[in-house]
Chains A and B, each alone.
Chain A
Amino acid sequence: MRGHASLLGTYVEGTSPLHRLPLWLKGLTVLVLSTSVLLVNTPVLTAGALTVTAAGYLVGARLKPIHLWRPLAPVWPMLVILGGYQVIVNGPEPALQLVGNITVCLLAARLLTLTTEGQLLLDGLVALAVPFRRLGADPERFGLTLALMTRSLPYLVGSVADVRDAARARGLERSPRALVIPVVIGAVAYAHQTGEALAARGLGEPREPGPPSAS
C-alpha cells in the first residue's frame, strides 16, 4: 500500500517561531487566511496570501522549499483540470485566482500539521469540542474522529494510485469501473479494519453502564 502521508503532512520536528506558536493562534490564522481568500476573492489578496503562506514555510517554520511542493504533488492534475475549465469558461484571471485560493488553503492547512505534533493537535480538537459536552458530545471521540480523517485521506489517495497502477498493468486504464469499484471496496474494507482495530484497542468506546461481571 502506497502511503501519501504528504497530502496533509506529518509533523516535522523543529524549534522555529511557528513551531512554538500556540495551536489556537495557528488555527485561527489558517481559518482567517482561508476564509478571506475564498470570501473576498481578489487577485491581490490571493497573491498576498500565497506570499504570506510561502514565507510561513520558508521563514516562519524554517522548512525546506520541497515542503511547499509535497502537498501539491498528488493534487496538481485536479488543479490543472479545474484551472483549464475556468480558463475556457471565465478566462485566465479567475482561473489563476481559483487555483491560487485552493493552493493557499491546502498549504496553510498543511503548515499547521507540519508544525504541530499530532497529539497536541488531538488535544486541541478535543478542547474545541468540550463546550458541546453538555449537548451529549464526547470530545475524545470527536478528536479521534478528526484525527482518523486526517490519517484516512492520505491512505485513500494512495489507494487510488495503487488501483490505477493495477488497472494499467492489466490494460484497463480506460475503464472507470476498474478504477472506481476497487477503490470503493478498498475504502469500505479500510473503514471496517480501522473500526475493528480501534475497538480492539478500546479507543473511542462509550463507557459501559454497571459493573462488569462473569454472569
Chain B
Amino acid sequence: MIVFEGAAVSVDGPVRQRQILEPVTLTLAERRIAVIGANGSGKSTLLKLINGLITPTAGRVVVEGLNTVNAGRAVRQRVGFVFTDPLSQLVMPTGREDVELSLRARVRRPADRRAAAISVLERFGLAPLADQSIYDLSGGERQLMALATVLAVNPDILVADEPTTLLDLRNERRVRSLFRTLDQQVVFTTHDLEFATDSDRVLVIDSGRLVFDGDPQQAIARYRSLHLDPDKLPGGDHR
C-alpha cells in the first residue's frame, strides 16, 4: 500500500519557491493505478516520490509501512521503477548480464546467478535475446528487457513512467498485456488514454495539482475537458 500524507515537492526558483507538486493526500491500494496529465504536469514527480527517487519537501510518503525519506533503500528494494527510455536503465552490455546485475545481491554464485537470469528471461519470452547487445534490440524489446531487469527481484510494487511512449503499436500491446499478468501492484503514467482504461483507478494531474481521482472513464472525460476545452486550445476563442 502507498500512502501520500500531504506530500508536496517544491524547488528553489530565481525569485521564490516553485511548486512542482501541490500537497497530495491519498492511499493507493488498488492493483492497477494510472496517472495521466499533460507534459510537465507533475506525473513523473508523483511517481518518483513512491520509490524515494525524489523526497517530499513537505508531508511524507509511506510505502508498505516505510517512510521513503529515512528508509529509501528498503523502499527501493520493494518498489521497482521502469523509466520511459530503457537505454538509460540498462547498464550492462546484454540483457542477461543486466538481469544478473539485478540479482547480484541475492544470488552470490555466478553459475546460479546466470541460471536465475536465464529463467527470468524465459518467463518474459526474452531468452532468445539474452546475449544480444542492448543496442541491437528494438525499442519494444529493450523496454521488455528493462521490465525484466526490474521484475527479476520480485518487487512488491512496480512503478513505470510512460512505459509505452517510445513503442510502436505491436510492442505497446506486448507491454500492456504483460502488465495485465503481473502479480505486483502497478502504478504507471501514460499519455495513452486507452492504456489508462486498463487500470482500476486513475489520477489526473494538472499543473502540479491532483484534479481528479477515481474511475478510469470519468478520469479520462475530466482530462479531456481540461485539455480539449476550445477556450484553452491555441486559436480558440479566448474571451
Contact = CB atoms under 8 A, between A and B. Distances in A.
Interface of A: 1-3, 5, 10-11, 13, 117-120, 122-123, 140, 147-148, 151, 154, 158, 190, 193-194, 196-203, 205, 207-208, 212-215
Q: Which of B62, B114, B133 has the most CB of A within 10 A?
A: B133
A118 B91 CA distance: 11
A182 to B, nearest CB: 17
Interface stretch (B35-43, B67-75, B178-186, B211-219): B67-75
A190 B88 CA distance: 7
Contacts of B89: 197, 200-201
A169 to B, nearest CB: 21
Nearest to B94: A10
B29 interface: no
Given A1-B87, A120-B110, A147-B92, A200 B97 contact: no
A203 B89 CA distance: 11
Contacts of B136: 3, 5
A121 B102 CA distance: 16
Given A119-B97, A205-B76, 14 more contacts: A13-B131, A118-B92, A147-B91, A200-B53, A200-B76, A201-B89, A201-B149, A202-B73, A205-B73, A208-B72, A212-B74, A214-B62, A214-B67, A215-B70
A119 B88 contact: no
Q: For the complex of A and B, list the 10 residue pairs with the smallest distance between their C-beta atoms, beginning with the closest.
A: A3-B135, A212-B71, A193-B88, A200-B81, A10-B93, A118-B97, A212-B74, A202-B76, A197-B89, A5-B133
B76 A197 contact: no
A213 B81 contact: no
A198 B92 CA distance: 12
A194 B91 contact: yes
A208 to B, nearest CB: 5
A3 B139 CA distance: 13
A203 B85 contact: no
Contact of B70 (A119, A193, A199, A213): A213
A5 to B, nearest CB: 5
Contacts of A13: 131
25 contacts: A1-B87, A3-B87, A5-B133, A119-B92, A147-B91, A147-B101, A151-B91, A151-B93, A193-B83, A193-B88, A197-B88, A197-B91, A198-B91, A200-B51, A200-B53, A201-B80, A203-B91, A205-B73, A205-B76, A208-B72, A208-B74, A212-B67, A213-B67, A214-B65, A215-B70
Q: Which of B85, B88, B131 has the most CB of A within 10 A?
A: B88
A205 B77 CA distance: 11
Contacts of B87: 1, 3
A212 B78 CA distance: 13
Interface in B44-75: 51, 53, 62, 65-67, 70-75
Nearest to A119: B100
B113 interface: yes
A193 B41 CA distance: 20
Interface string B103-142: 0100000100110000000000000000101111000000
Contacts of B21: none
B73 A207 contact: yes
B66 to A, nearest CB: 5
B88 A208 contact: no
Contacts of A147: 91-92, 101
